[in-house]
Structure 1
Amino acid sequence: MRRKLKLVKLILAIAFIFTSIIPVRIAIAFHQAPVPQAIFVLGGAAERMGFAAQFWQSHQNLDIWVSDFAWNLDANRRIFLKFGVPDAKLHLDGRATDTVTNFTTLAGNFADQRLQHIYLITSDYHMRRAQAIATIVLGSQGTVVTPVAVASRNQPPESLVRLLRDGGRSFLWLVTGRTGASFNSRLKSHRDF
């Protein structure tokens, strides 16, 4: 019992340290890069890809990063090419299995590319949860996001339960490097835990 209590205290201390550092890293990133340096699109909806392709028309100097299921990548590429986005501007990643892994799979890439500020494009009903995850995962890596919401058809905002669950999974990733995605029975092939 004492060992478990010590472990819980250690995890809470680590979470507190990360929580304290994230706002500082975000402030530094925003100061150093006040204008977004790339576009990041969360997969799962073709409307998001079309919106991002049109958004890119007025931001042609930026690369587009897409995180989606692997089987959607070809369709996504076709949408962007249809709108005239050159293949050289696209970074399509198919490692994600859910919203948390949209961020955790690309956080290292953004850091390697020295992207400190990115546009985050997703559906309006999904934005609150996506921003929370981005704040934890990307903020911990020194990347800030500017949200750009895609209007949806009368879709209610996601529940607070989902936001809290994925916020917790994001902190789990900070501490352990794992997201807990393997606990999702719909993702049997995903090896995470």
Structure 2
Amino acid sequence: MKNIVILISGTGSNMAAILEAAERQHWEREHGVRVAAVISNKADAKGLQTAASRGVATQVLDHKAYASRADFDAALAQAIDAFEPALVVLAGFMRILTEGFVQHYAGRLVNIHPSLLPAFAGLHTHQRAIDAGCQFAGATVHLVTAELDNGPILAQAVVPVLPGDTADALALRVLSQEHVIYPRAVLQWLTRPGTAA
């Protein structure tokens, strides 16, 4: 069985999209892939309720309870490793991860970013795309490396930037595509040739 651990900090809409796809497409039965756990750094993250309602194990590690970022990441890695993950999925996990954490999960840590990387890495992607006069924006699923938003690209989706678009309107259109490409990219990565069950 290939276990997925998803990390969230809030509502976890991308997490929910992955859980729904896994259920609808029978990932466990068809591919030996399952979401084993959802872990949050915030106890009030709404996504924890969503995961628990679908029978997925949940856990909270409050980053404020740790003296340093490295201490938190070490505890987080210990919690994740208990589930023997084939893949760790960042789904709105609002923490900058240490280089040691990223290296520990090299090749099995993925993120989604709301721009067509390498364009507009970092924050405020939608407003920056509008300000730059882009005709298209989108989202990118990528492997996580030590350099921010710079890992190998696994999938992208493109949406038009419409006349009079606001950052919020564009964000909603991009998010709807994130919910399509993230589950697809996760499954494709875990079932690509040469990955043992």
Q: TM-score, normalised by structure 1?
A: 0.41
**Larger strand percent:** 2
Higher helix proportion: 1
